[in-house]
Copies of this chain bind each other. A is one copy, B any other.
Amino acid sequence: MAETVRNPKQVRSIDKKNRIIEAGYRLFARDGYYSTNTAMIAKEAGVSTGIVYGYFRDKRDILVEVLNLYVNKVFEPIFETFENIQAPVDFDYLLSYAVDDVVRTHRDNSAIHAALHSLTYSDEIVNARFTELENEMTLRVADCLEKGGYRSDDLKEKVHLAMRCIQDYAHEYTYDHHDYLSYPRMKELLVAMLKHIFE
């Protein structure tokens, strides 16, 4: 209970901790959180089962770090898109590009995304981390738009709503894909409607 988790400072140790996180990433993506056990993670990372508890409080703790790795891998590229906006903001282009970008990202990371997102509902920490991430994205993107000369009283609300809708579309596009719907047409509708609130 009163055990302390090592905070590795030596290079070799940092390496080992990262190897465990990456092993968790791969395994959670492939088999899901509940079907991956700590022994598998240790083996995949090439370390002993015991040492895992030298770097992580428990299995869930690994999950949290895997989540951070995921965030870095997946969301950072999206932020970059918005950081180069020029005034005046071309919403037609920006929204269309963002949708494609998010869809691509979803597709490339579908496995780990599914594994992690499924825990949102049962795991407070995971949920908080995802929420925090959303906050950050909303604020950063809003900031970028302001730097691009866009002004609005409801800026944060607009950005937030737009982001959620785009992600939801990407999510559905990747996982559900109903046959009887035209997704290109849906994308046009999505872009049109978001453009409407921004103009």
Contacts and interface: CB of A to CB of B under 8 A. Distances in A.
Contacts of A119: 118
A34 interface: yes
A121 B127 contact: no
B196 A131 contact: no
B189 A158 contact: yes
A178 B131 contact: yes
23 contacts: A1-B35, A3-B39, A32-B122, A34-B122, A117-B121, A118-B120, A118-B121, A118-B122, A131-B176, A131-B178, A134-B176, A134-B178, A154-B189, A156-B180, A156-B181, A157-B182, A160-B178, A160-B186, A164-B165, A164-B172, A165-B165, A193-B197, A196-B196
Given A121-B118, A122-B114, A168-B168, A157 B135 contact: no
Interface in A23-56: 32, 34-35, 39
A192 B196 contact: yes
